[in-house]
Amino acid sequence: MAEMTAPVAVGDRLTVTIEGYAAEGEGVGRYEGFTVFVPQTLVGERVETEIELVKKNYARGRLLALQEASPHRVDPACSLYTQCGGCQLLHLSYEGQLTMKRQRVVDTLQRIGGLAEVTVHPVIGMAEPWHYRNKVQYPFGLADNRIVVGCYQKGTHRVVPTDTCAIQHELNSKVMQAVRKLAQKYKLTVYDERTGEGFLRHVLVKNAFGTGEVMVVLVTNDAEFAKGPELAQALAKACPAVKSVVQNINTTRGNTVLGSESRTLWGADRITDRLGDLEFKISANSFFQVNPKQTEVLYEKAVEYAGLTGKETVLDAYCGVGSLTLFLARRAKEVYGVEAVEPAIRDAEENAAHNGIANVRFIVGRTEKVLPKLAAIGTGFDVAVVDPPRAGCDPEVLKTMAKVGVGRVVYVSCNPSTLARDLKILAELGYVTKEVQPVDMFPHTFHVECVVLITKL
């Protein structure tokens, strides 16, 4: 059978009606039965597009004109929207975003997981979906021989100067610009990915909403930083909220932002943030949720689905620095947190001690290895909570939970596709997906978080 020839070519201009959305929020239409992706378009819109890329099974175009606009279209609240890849949905009303994200979860569960009858609740959104991010991470660049800092232009590594951001806390932007001015004043060089030369690579600002403390992390291409302490002190003077300035050393040629070694240039080694009535220590390399208000919503839903009465022994797989573990521990008899990253476990143990929570035990290792060992010494679990990275759970984790007889599973997911895949595996292992609660952790982006209640047949 002859292969189908694409009915479009690069440079063609054509009109399509947008019928759905792709995984990252682009509009999807069809031309003579051929799939065409058009970013910044909405379902129901009739658009003129110019084809920029043609593959075997699809084409991608750029939006030229709206012939019929959606009633949910709004003017983007950012002048950099067409350049920056950080927000994908600023052209869609917030109510429309929540509807779109729920539908994405419904469609993905059905298409990948075969779950057509599962209850998917409306997405829990934010009353004020702006300036919610407590962390910003930007590369340094050069423009007209002056240092700039900002986001990458979409699809490139060209730095777009970013003075403000609609989803960043205003203080993050203020600190970022102070860093830029000081880098210029101290005549620091900027890292060039092509040559591997230059000193400053990235800057991170971590803003503890609960305490008002700020940490600044300067990622450098060399350990030697003679001007570092002086620059750090000047930054703290310019921005009194800054309590910690850290140098992170990354001499690799890859695209990983942080290196493994950090040195405190000024102030404290860590800052403290709060979630609910719990406090957490945050270091340069530690992970902490970037939307604290919605994190509390997410965690409370996970605790609710866990159905804790104070008598249960709970497994928290992929526990990280133990933030969710401690929320669970206040309602459970005992919680075991398992995490493969040893520094995260050290942070988790310190956070438990700092909050005076003693009914937790943290173990370094992979869950599929740790769980059978615990079972062998008679440790069983009434409830398992899993909060894996975007890649989802290792299949052996799911199989091991079934093998040791975990009766209730709460799955916290940041990726509907891998969630659906894992729910299908759990169904094959004798589990039933009861309900799904999406939570909007990242307004104006295509991301959606879910909390899922799963029980054993």
- What's the mean pLDDT when you consider all of the chain? 95
SS3 content of the chain, % helix, strand, coil (to 5): 25, 35, 40
94 found inside a domain: no
**In terms of residues, how long is the chain?**
457
If asked whether residues 17 and 113 sit together in one domain, one would say: no
Asked whether residue 439 carries a pLDDT value surpassing 50, the answer given is: yes
Helix residue ranges, H only, 142-291:
170-185, 228-238
| Catalytic entry in 239, 393, 414, 450 | 414
Given 230, 265, 282, which residue is the final one in a domain? 282
Q: How confident is the model at residue 310 (pLDDT cuts 50, 70, 90)?
A: very high
If asked whether residues 139 and 121 sit together in one domain, one would say: no
1 found inside a domain: no
Given 256, 282, 308, which residue is the final one in a domain? 282
The full DSSP string for 293-322 is HHHHHHHHHHHHHHT--S--EEEEET-TTS
Asked whether residue 420 carries a pLDDT value surpassing 60, the answer given is: yes
7 found inside a domain: no
Residues 268-285 have a mean pLDDT of 93
81 found inside a domain: no
74 found inside a domain: no
If asked whether residues 249 and 298 sit together in one domain, one would say: no
CATH number at residue 34: 2.40.50.140
If asked whether residues 114 and 178 sit together in one domain, one would say: no
CATH number at residue 201: 2.40.50.1070
Q: Which domain holds residue 363?
A: 101-127+291-456
If asked whether residues 45 and 110 sit together in one domain, one would say: no
Q: Does residue 393 carry a catalytic annotation?
A: no
pLDDT tens-place string over residues 404-416: 999 999 999 999 9
216 found inside a domain: yes
Q: How confident is the model at residue 4 (pLDDT cuts 50, 70, 90)?
A: low
93 found inside a domain: no
The verdict on pTM exceeding 0.75 is: yes
pLDDT tens-place string over residues 145-156: 899 999 888 778
390 found inside a domain: yes
pLDDT tens-place string over residues 212-224: 999 999 999 999 9
Number of folded domains that form the chain:
3
If asked whether residues 394 and 433 sit together in one domain, one would say: yes
Q: How confident is the model at residue 84 (pLDDT cuts 50, 70, 90)?
A: confident
The answer to whether the CB of 436 falls within 8 A of the CB of 105 is yes
